[in-house]
Amino acid sequence: MEIMNDPQQNTENSSDSYWPSVLLAGGIFAIISFVLGLIFSYSQFNSEPSGTLISPIMIGNGVVCLATAFAGMLGVWHYTKEVTQSLKLGKGALIGFFSGAFVIIFSTLLNEIWTYIDPSYTEKLIESFVANYEAMDMPEETKNTMIDATVESIRDQNMLTTMLTGIPLYGLLNLITGMIGVKLFASREDDEF
């Protein structure tokens, strides 16, 4: 007796393989995040203190956040090209969330590796923030409080805390762009989650 393949069953089996799309999007945008972060960090290290809160690193953080927001969309695009055109909004949100989570995981690992390549990176970061705060026109007590808080924050930062704070932020941001990706790239049969 010949068993007929159910098209719905094939769709369900193929939809489980979203991990290659997630890993690809997460990896690409982690590299982008890492490189942009280095560019903005080293431009701050090599510049004169501005004496304002707007510095190359602060601008860089905004640029990196904006750039990595498209990981979810890339993951959905890759999934619709490689696996199936049919995609529900909820699956796109899941692909987006995991893509964003892997951006922070991979970029954190790259940053950790970088601290072995340039062991003075953290100290240069601290020195640039301290120099910038010292150039600010504010009361000494406020300035010292800001310097102490920033130095403590940078020194206390580790891989685990970076991931625990970054995964929800980047995950939720890419969850949204994953759903936008479904609207742009997928042919959906219904609007169910």
pTM of the predicted model as reported, rounded to 2 decimal places: 0.83
Comparing 8 with 43, the larger pLDDT belongs to 43
Comparing 51 with 131, the larger pLDDT belongs to 131
Taking only the tens place, the pLDDT of each residue in 143-178 is 889 889 989 988 888 899 999 999 999 999 999 999
CB within 8 Å of 18: residues ≥ 6 apart: 75, 79, 83, 91, 94, 95, 98
Joined tokens for residue 53: 């809160």
Window from 79-83, 91-95, 105-109, 137-141 with minimum mean pLDDT: 137-141
* Farthest CA pair distance, the chain: 86
Question: The dihedral of CA 59, 65, 71, 72: what is its sign?
Answer: negative
DSSP string, 118-152: STTHHHHHHHHHHHHHHTS-S-HHHHHHHHHHHHH
CB within 8 Å of 164: residues ≥ 6 apart: none
